[in-house]
A = this chain, B = another copy of it.
Amino acid sequence: MASPRYRRLGRDERREQILAVARRMFTELPYTEVSTTAIAREAGVQRGLVHYYFGAKRELFLQVVRHLTATLATQLPPLPEGLSLEEMVDLCVAHFLDAADANATTWFAAVDAEGFGQDPELTRIVHRTRDLTVEHLLKALRVPGPTDTLRAVLRAYSGLAEVATREWLQHKALSRAQAHTLLARSLLTLVRDIAPAVERS
């Protein structure tokens, strides 16, 4: 008797396997250059199965992005007590840089996903995770009565953090120590001096 033509896996098992392949391919290549055919081939299944599990290709891509951002969100560290603002900023920045370093590929893939061209659902996902980290920052720094304006300032700060991380890990124009100095001092100044001034504007 010949061995069966294909292994029949459980729903979640197969789903996760295909998702893993898709994750790798979408982080390595532009969206349009990743075909469902190629994903299926690498996963060792027929293309139809990919659509059976995820529907449209776009839906699969969104799943991938959701997973990437979720991965990053869970990396938020616990908050120690009784530190000064300076120490807390230092700690947050160090944690942030560690996380970015450890998941460089994932991190850039997630951040890069944003611009993928006016896709409302996609930008919603990315913005939500950005908001999550901002909330985490607010808690960590114990800012009294955080306003929406402060949140906006911190979101802007996350834009600076994003590029600074790129300058460190990709472009290598900054060392880790330099990136740390830049991020820590910027955050401190923003929260302590600039944000209040912005509030008053």
- Interface residues in chain A, defined as those with a beta carbon under 8 Å from any beta carbon in chain B: 26-32, 58, 111-119, 148-149, 151-153, 155-164, 167, 171, 173-175, 177-178, 180-182, 185-186, 189-190, 193-194, 197-199, 201
Contacts and interface: CB of A to CB of B under 8 A. Distances in A.
Contacts of A58: 32
Contact of A111 (B115, B155, B201): B115
A153 B162 CA distance: 12
B173 A167 contact: no
Contact of A182 (B113, B114, B175, B194): B194
Contacts of A112: 114-115, 117-118
Contact of A173 (B152, B174, B178, B194): B152
A164 B152 CA distance: 8
A10 to B, nearest CB: 32
B194 A167 contact: no
Contacts of A156: 160, 163-164, 167, 182
A147 to B, nearest CB: 10
Identical copies in the complex:
2
A184 to B, nearest CB: 9
Contact of A159 (B31, B119, B160, B175): B160
Given A115-B114, A148-B173, A181 B201 contact: yes
Given A29-B118, A30-B116, 18 more contacts: A29-B117, A30-B119, A32-B32, A113-B117, A115-B115, A155-B163, A155-B167, A156-B164, A156-B182, A160-B163, A178-B198, A182-B194, A182-B198, A185-B193, A185-B194, A186-B186, A186-B189, A189-B189
- What are the 7 A-B residue pairs with the smallest beta carbon separation, nearest first? A115-B115, A159-B163, A30-B117, A152-B173, A160-B160, A112-B115, A156-B164
Nearest to A174: B152
30 contacts: A28-B118, A30-B118, A31-B116, A32-B58, A112-B114, A112-B115, A112-B118, A113-B115, A115-B115, A152-B173, A152-B174, A152-B178, A153-B182, A155-B163, A156-B163, A156-B164, A156-B167, A157-B160, A159-B159, A159-B164, A174-B198, A181-B197, A181-B201, A182-B194, A185-B194, A186-B186, A186-B189, A186-B190, A186-B194, A189-B194
